[in-house]
Structure 1
């Protein structure tokens, strides 16, 4: 066999072996064990630079081979910038697909039912996974960027757990939570009893926020709503402490006194008739449903039994008896 022919055959064997080794490498786990390695691909990075960034973050992958794999599979131009996590047993081929699909590292933020908007803003500001772009905005400026139809933000964001890609703008959470609240509210509004004393979905939202703050017992929320609806229909004062507390703002020290009940504010339902001007908290779906589907009841009063439940009464005499029994 001539030298040239031997060299040609040897070259073919080496090439086949190289392709085989490359294919084998692309299907082997980059890491094993339990460690998760975070890394970031910066905007504007080509596949070569991205491969260097991945390796520099601690991912034990050969940058040259990895960028070659992306090119060979014709995915080099489709990788997406963002924050990622390399999980155990991920292969180079799977990692390329992860970058192409934009399977970013997931973070979460939980907004609690009954929080005020101030508490929600504090939780968002403290979340390290978000890119904070709204910190310098006032509440009014923030609402102007989210929904020009509403000026006051209280109550207009749905309490839930939100997932997001690490590094997402915090505005995305506000917009998502606001859209979710409007969807829940409008859905409940469409199913409402037309005899309810609400002029708009927003008034129903105000009522839902009061129900949310009045009881932690989910089973009592429709009854609480029924009492307040009865009072609205009769022109009675709502006389609910949570609205007074909200109107006190930072003056509230954990106690509500007689002078607080007598001090007039837009939210004092002992001194002003009807609903307060805005919600007082972020209501959950059960409070929304209760406000728009209250219990059919003759009750006009309720008092805490001291065990988390309430005693409902249809007249003042029975209510006073209940107060003497459970509160005095």
Structure 2
């Protein structure tokens, strides 16, 4: 073999080795695992509007289990991810390749978050709770909850909007806007109020909104699910007779001090439309976000003759019911003595 052929052979072999090496490296860059999360199978990556490729890469490298920072940046550049960054919450999974990771981020294939808003009384409570689960701040959520033009479009006002939030678990995207969130709640509210529930509300003689308001009172009065229909029946009886509801939880709501354990005479004097000792009928809005069990308790209220109730003196969470004031006075005296024994004076 002459010298020229030897040189060509050597060059060919060298190029082949380079090509094979480059192909292998390229394959590894794109298709080999580049995420190794030590303590979990997934990592939640939150990308806000202020993030760029540098901050995202740094977060993944320091917290998200990125094995090879350089190869991730290389693939990101090739796929022009820096020009297509999308906000959201992304689940980075153990074993993901650079190609899988960049494609997910570039396409905006984020994972939803689950939100709940149980045990809320006010819009401030809702905003406070949801701001911990979403990208929206408490102030941004409150702005939407008080946006008169948006509320009017959805058929609510600044008070009735509370009834749109039916406690349940919902999946939404982390970067959902305040407007989109309220529209979603409106949709869920309308789905909840199906033909069966609407018909039952009509039979009770209340609108869906009025059912929600009454359900919030029922929920505040008793923690016992099996007692809710009986409590609902009591307030239905009072409404039908034109009596004041005289519900202690509405007074607490009117006062605004939710640490009150014993409603006193001074509290009953508070002049507020929520004070059902002063004003007949239902208060202007719900005093909490009633659970589905509370709403259904009103729609399926227990028919009886009771018009008075008082917490049981054993503090079991149940109540003594009465059909007249003399029976109620006896029950109330028992409960007052029990409160005094426990030194509960306010």
Question: Into which bin does the TM-score normalised by the smaller protein fall?
Answer: 0.7 to 0.9
- 2:129 is aligned, of 91, 98, 123, to 123
Q: How many residue pairs end up in the alignment?
A: 321
Q: Distance in 2 between matches of 1:41 and 1:89?
A: 21
Note the aligned Cα RMSD (angstroms).
3.8
* Equivalent position of 1:279 in the other structure: 286
| SS of structure 2 residue aligned to 1:57 | helix
Counterpart of 2:165 in structure 1 is 157
Counterpart residue number, 1:313: 322
**1:220 offset after TM fit, Å?**
1.2
Give the aligned partner of residue 214 of structure 1.
Answer: 221
Q: 2:137 aligns with which of 115, 132, 138?
A: 132
Contact 2:114 2:171 in 1 (8 A): yes
Alignment partners' CA distance in 1, 2:267 and 2:186: 32
Following superposition, the deviation at residue 224 of structure 1 comes to: 0.9
Contact map agreement 2:86 2:106 (CA 8 A) in 1: no
Q: Which stretch shifts more, 83-92 or 247-256?
A: 247-256
CA–CA separation in structure 2 for the residues paired with 1:284 and 1:37: 33
CA–CA distance in structure 1, aligned partners of residues 270 and 136 of structure 2: 42
TM-score normalized by structure 2? 0.75
1:265 aligns with 2:272: yes
Residue 144 of structure 1 corresponds to which residue in structure 2? Answer: 149
Q: Is the 8 A contact 2:198 2:208 kept in 1?
A: no
Partner of 1:89: 95
State the secondary structure of the residue aligned to 1:322: helix
Q: How does 1:100-115 map to 2 (within 5 A)?
A: 100-104=106-110, 109-115=115-121
For residues 194 and 308 of structure 1, the distance between their equivalents in structure 2, rounded to whole angstroms, comes to: 31
Residue of structure 1 in register with 2:57 after alignment: 55
Task: Assess if the C-alpha contact under 8 Å between 2:46 and 2:87 holds in 1.
Answer: yes
- 2:201·2:211 contact (CA, 8 Å) conserved in 1? no
Aligned residue for 2:342? none
Aligned mates of 1:300, 1:40 — CA distance in 2: 53
Alpha-carbon distance in 1 for matches of 2:10, 2:279: 101
1:68 positional shift: 5.7
Q: Would you say 1:301 and 2:308 are equivalent positions?
A: yes
Once the two structures are overlaid, the 10-residue window that deviates more, 35-44 or 178-187, is 35-44
Q: Which ranges in structure 2 are unaligned for 5 or more consecutive residues?
A: 338-346
Q: Do 1:133 and 1:169's aligned partners in 2 also have CA atoms closer than 8 Å?
A: no
**Long gaps (5+) in structure 1:** none
3-state SS, counterpart of residue 243 of structure 2:
coil
Aligned residues of 1:133 and 1:171 also touching (Cα < 8 A): no
**Worse-matched range after superposition: 204-213 or 74-83:** 74-83
1:184 to 180, 192, 209: 192
Given the superposition, is the C-alpha separation of residues 253 and 326 from structure 1 closer, same or farther in structure 2, using an over 3 Å criterion? closer
CA contact (8 A) 1:44 1:81 kept: no
Find the aligned partners of 1:99 and 1:136 in 2 and give their Cα distance.
Answer: 26
Q: Give the Å deviation of 1:39.
A: 5.3
Pick one of 29, 33, 37 that aligns with 2:38: 33
The 1:80–1:297 alpha-carbon spacing in structure 2 relative to 1, beyond 3 Å, is farther
Q: Could you tell me which residue of structure 2 aligns to residue 195 of structure 1? A: 203
Contact 1:134 1:171 in 2 (8 A): no
Q: TM-score, normalised by structure 1?
A: 0.78
Query: SS of 1:303's equivalent?
Result: strand
Judge conservation of contact 1:113–1:212 (CA < 8 Å) in 2: no
